[in-house]
C-alpha cells in the first residue's frame, strides 16, 4: 500500500465506510486525505453516513461537517462525485428511487466505471450480496452494536498496552475481517460477482462494506476491489491515468501526537490571549502620549547691552 502524504493527482478515487455520525469515524485523517489528493472522479461507495448511530444517539462534531465541505468543494471545482448508497445510509435510496438530485453529487445504487485502459468495473457498496444484511437486517444491527462494543474494548486494551510500551494490536479489525470473510463465503459473494460480471461483460467489482481493503483476483479475468474504511484502516482505492488501480493508506491518528498538537494549540491561544490583554494597555499609553501637549521650547535669553561710558 502506498502512503498518501503529498498532493497527488488521480483519475479516480474510491472511498467507502466513513461512518459520519459515529465516534469511530476518523474524520481528521479523511480531511487530510481529501486535501492532499485530487481526482477527476470521486466515488463515495456507501456508508458515508451512519444512519443507525444517528437514530439511536446523535453525534456530530465539527470535523464531520468539514468532511462534507471538502467533498462539496471538490465537486464545485469540477470533480464528478458519485454517492453509492450503503446499508446504514439506506435512507438515501428513497431519493434514488424518486430520482431526486443532491446538488453537485450524483446519487446511485450502482455505477459502471470505465477505466483509462478500457476495463468496465461495477461500483457498488456490496451489501446486496451480504445474506445477513439483505435477509436478516435485525441480526445485522445487533452485529453492528457488538462491533462498536468490541472497538471500545480494543481502544482500552491498546491504551493499556501503550502505557506499558507495547505495540497496539488491531483486535477488533481482525475479528470483523474474519467474520465478514466467513459471511462472504457463506453468502457466495465471489460466485455471485463472477456470474454477474461474466453476464454483463464486466472485468471487476468495486466494493466497500467489509471494512477490509484488498485487491483480489477471483477467476475468469475478474478482480474484486475493496476500498476498506475510515474507521480503522483509513484506506482508499485510486486509479492513475493509465488505468492502474492501487490502495492508498493514511496512517491512523496517534493519540499521543494529537494530545501534543492540542497542547501546542492551547499554548498558542494563551500567548495570543496574553498579547491581546496587553494591547489595551499599550493603546492607552499611546493615547496618553498623543493627548499630552508637548512642552514649549525655552526661549533664549537676551543679554542687555552695556552702556558705554
What residue spans define the domains of the chain? 2-137+188-253, 260-284
Question: Which carries the bigger pLDDT value, residue 132 or residue 248?
Answer: 248
- Exposure pattern of 34-53 as b/e (b: 16+ CB <10 Å)? beebebebbbbbbbbbbbbb
Give 300's DSSP letter: P
Residues 188-231 pLDDT 10s: 788 899 999 999 999 999 999 888 899 999 999 999 999 999 99
Residues 255-285 pLDDT 10s: 555 666 677 777 777 777 776 666 677 767 7
What CATH number does domain 2-137+188-253 carry, 3.60.21.50, 3.20.20.70, 3.40.50.150, 3.40.640.10?
3.60.21.50
* Selection from 126-140, 152-166, 168-182, 217-231 with the highest mean pLDDT: 217-231
Q: Is the pLDDT of residue 154 over 80?
A: no
Q: What is the pLDDT of residue 57?
A: 82
DSSP string, 40-99: EEEEEES-SB-HHHHHHS----HHHHHHHHHHHHHHHTT-EEEEE--STTGGGHHHHHTT
Contact 238, 12 (CB under 8 A): yes
Q: What is the pLDDT of residue 153?
A: 65
* Cell numbers at 280, concatenated: 489595551
Residue 55 pLDDT grade (very low, low, confident, very high; cuts 50, 70, 90): confident
* Cell numbers at 110, concatenated: 450502482
Residue 53 pLDDT grade (very low, low, confident, very high; cuts 50, 70, 90): confident
Q: Is the pLDDT of residue 174 over 80?
A: no
Residue 2 pLDDT grade (very low, low, confident, very high; cuts 50, 70, 90): very low
Question: Which carries the bigger pLDDT value, residue 186 or residue 233?
Answer: 233
Q: What is the pLDDT of residue 307?
A: 46
First to last CA, the chain: 114
Any idea what the Cα angle at residue 84 is, between residues 108 and 116, rounded to 5°?
A: 90
Residue 296 pLDDT grade (very low, low, confident, very high; cuts 50, 70, 90): low
Task: Tell me the average pLDDT of the chain.
Answer: 79
Spatial distance between the Cα atoms of 271 and 132, rounded to a whole number of angstroms: 55
Residues 60-108 pLDDT 10s: 999 999 999 999 999 999 999 999 988 767 677 777 765 666 778 899 9
Comparing 153-167, 173-187, 200-214, the range with the smallest average pLDDT is 173-187
Contact 130, 215 (CB under 8 A): no
Read off the pLDDT of each residue in 107-132 and give the average, rounded to a whole number: 89
Amino acid at each position: 500500500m502506498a502512503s498518501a502524504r503529498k498532493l497527488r493527482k488521480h483519475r479516480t478515487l474510491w472511498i467507502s465506510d466513513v461512518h459520519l455520525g459515529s465516534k469511530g469515524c476518523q474524520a481528521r485523517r479523511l480531511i487530510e486525505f481529501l486535501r492532499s489528493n485530487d481526482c477527476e472522479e470521486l466515488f463515495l461507495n456507501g456508508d458515508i453516513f451512519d444512519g443507525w448511530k444517528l437514530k439511536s444517539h446523535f453525534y456530530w462534531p465539527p470535523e464531520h461537517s468539514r468532511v462534507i465541505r471538502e467533498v462539496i468543494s471538490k465537486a464545485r471545482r469540477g470533480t464528478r462525485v458519485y454517492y453509492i448508497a450503503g446499508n446504514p445510509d439506506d435512507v438515501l435510496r428513497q431519493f434514488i428511487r424518486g430520482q431526486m438530485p443532491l446538488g453537485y453529487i450524483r446519487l446511485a445504487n450502482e455505477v459502471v466505471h470505465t477505466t483509462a485502459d478500457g476495463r468496465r468495473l461495477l461500483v457498488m457498496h456490496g451489501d446486496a450480496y451480504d445474506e445477513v444484511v439483505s435477509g436478516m437486517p435485525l441480526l445485522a444491527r445487533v452485529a453492528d452494536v457488538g462491533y462498536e462494543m468490541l472497538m471500545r474494548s480494543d481502544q482500552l486494551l491498546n491504551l493499556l498496552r501503550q502505557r506499558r510500551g507495547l505495540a497496539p494490536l488491531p483486535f477488533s479489525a481482525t475479528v470483523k475481517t474474519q467474520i465478514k470473510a466467513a459471511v462472504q463465503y457463506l453468502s457466495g459473494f465471489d460466485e455471485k460477482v463472477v456470474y454477474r460480471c461474466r453476464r454483463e461483460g464486466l472485468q471487476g467489482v468495486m466494493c466497500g462494506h467489509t471494512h477490509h481493503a484488498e485487491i483480489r483476483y477471483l477467476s475468469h479475468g475478474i478482480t474484486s476491489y475493496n476500498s476498506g474504511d475510515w474507521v480503522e484502516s483509513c484506506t482508499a482505492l485510486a486509479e492513475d491515468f493509465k488505468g492502474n488501480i492501487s490502495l492508498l493508506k493514511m496512517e491512523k491518528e496517534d493519540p499521543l501526537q494529537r494530545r501534543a498538537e492540542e497542547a501546542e494549540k492551547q499554548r498558542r491561544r494563551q500567548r495570543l490571549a496574553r498579547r491581546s490583554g496587553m494591547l489595551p494597555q499599550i493603546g492607552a499609553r499611546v493615547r496618553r502620549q498623543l493627548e499630552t501637549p508637548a512642552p514649549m521650547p525655552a526661549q533664549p535669553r537676551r543679554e542687555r547691552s552695556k552702556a558705554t561710558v
